[in-house]
């Protein structure tokens, strides 16, 4: 059993941690290509190839890659972010263990979001449970950073006036949710909901309920 010192804040990633990626994938990989296909009167498959090639050419090291409005404008699509979100709102799903665990923890800890996603994506997907969170931080929207770096987590600690060791962060990305926060002293846990094989000897949980045992629940 890992012994965790006095914890004041519990931080969650979003995609793959609190929600599946179905909504995000639908917006980027169905919505944008479909509109491009309609505009240029080409097949969806052809549009998909053109759009995803453009995504890859810009690359996730540039901030524009994360902004849906940038792509709507770049492709001159007759839509808005809100229209795209509403078109695929049926794809939004919150994992079943999320609200029960947060309900249990929220009276004892500050519950926050630390995500790389554009903030509008976070707010739309988590709308039914937003009232549970004390703060929502987006690396791309709030700090104009393209990844959740060590510096990103450091800024969060400074803003909340807490020490890294007083934070637990849970997410599904080995580097951005485990390695980077761990390097500054945050208690990081990798969540592996799909049970992918993880070779490294690190704390891996398969659902949020498993974090409770580290907090003596």
- 178 pLDDT above the threshold of 90: yes
List strands edge to edge, sheet with 9-12: 135-138, 110-115, 9-12, 167-171, 187-191, 204-205
- pLDDT on residue 1: 47
Whether the predicted pLDDT of 62 surpasses 90: yes
Residue-level pLDDT at 5: 60
Mean pLDDT over each residue of the chain, to the nearest integer: 93
Exposure class string for 62-93: b at 16+ Cβ within 10 A, else e: ebebbbbeebbeebebebebeebbebbeebbe
pLDDT at 146: 87
CA–CA distance, 176 with 191 (Å, rounded to integer): 12
Query: Which of 124, 123, 131 lies closest to 99 in space, CA to CA?
Result: 131
Set out the domains of the chain in order of their start, with CATH numbers.
Answer: 9-20+93-215 (3.40.50.1000), 22-90 (no CATH)
Three-class DSSP category at 191: strand
Cα separation, 66 vs 64, whole angstroms: 5
Q: What is the mean pLDDT of residues 154-179?
A: 95
Alpha-carbon distance of 27 to 88, in angstroms, equals 7
pLDDT tens-digit readout, 18-44: 999 999 999 999 999 999 999 999 999
Q: pLDDT at position 40, please? A: 97
- What is the band of 78 on the pLDDT scale with cuts at 50, 70, 90? very high
> Is the pLDDT score of 204 beyond 90?
no
Q: Which pLDDT belongs to residue 55?
A: 97
Whole-angstrom distance, CA of residue 35 vs CA of residue 18: 28
Residue 133 has pLDDT above 90, yes or no: yes
Asked if the model's pLDDT at residue 196 lies above 70, the reply is no
3-class DSSP assignment, residue 194: coil
Number of neighbours of residue 198 by Cβ within 10 angstroms: 11
């Amino acid at each position: 059993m890992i012994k965790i010192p006095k914890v004041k804040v519990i931080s969650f990633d979003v995609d793959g941690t609190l929600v599946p990626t179905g909504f995000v994938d639908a917006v980027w990989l169905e919505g944008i290509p479909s509109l491009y296909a309609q505009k240029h009167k080409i097949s969806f498959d052809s549009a998909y190839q053109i759009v995803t090639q453009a995504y890859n050419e810009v690359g996730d090291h540039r901030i524009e890659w994360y902004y849906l409005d940038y792509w709507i404008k770049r492709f001159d699509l007759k839509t808005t972010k809100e229209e795209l979100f509403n078109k695929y709102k049926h794809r939004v799903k919150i994992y079943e263990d999320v609200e029960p665990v947060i309900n249990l923890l929220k009276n004892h800890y500050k519950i926050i979001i630390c995500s790389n996603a554009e903030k509008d994506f976070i707010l739309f997907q988590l709308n039914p449970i937003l009232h549970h969170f004390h703060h929502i931080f987006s690396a791309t929207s709030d700090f104009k950073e393209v990844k959740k770096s060590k510096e990103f987590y450091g800024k969060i600690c400074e803003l909340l006036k807490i020490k890294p060791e007083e934070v637990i962060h849970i997410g599904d990305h080995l580097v951005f949710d485990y390695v980077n926060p761990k390097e500054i002293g945050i208690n990081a846990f990798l969540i592996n909901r799909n049970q992918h094989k993880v070779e490294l000897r690190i704390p891996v949980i398969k659902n949020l309920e498993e974090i409770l045992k580290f907090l003596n629940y």
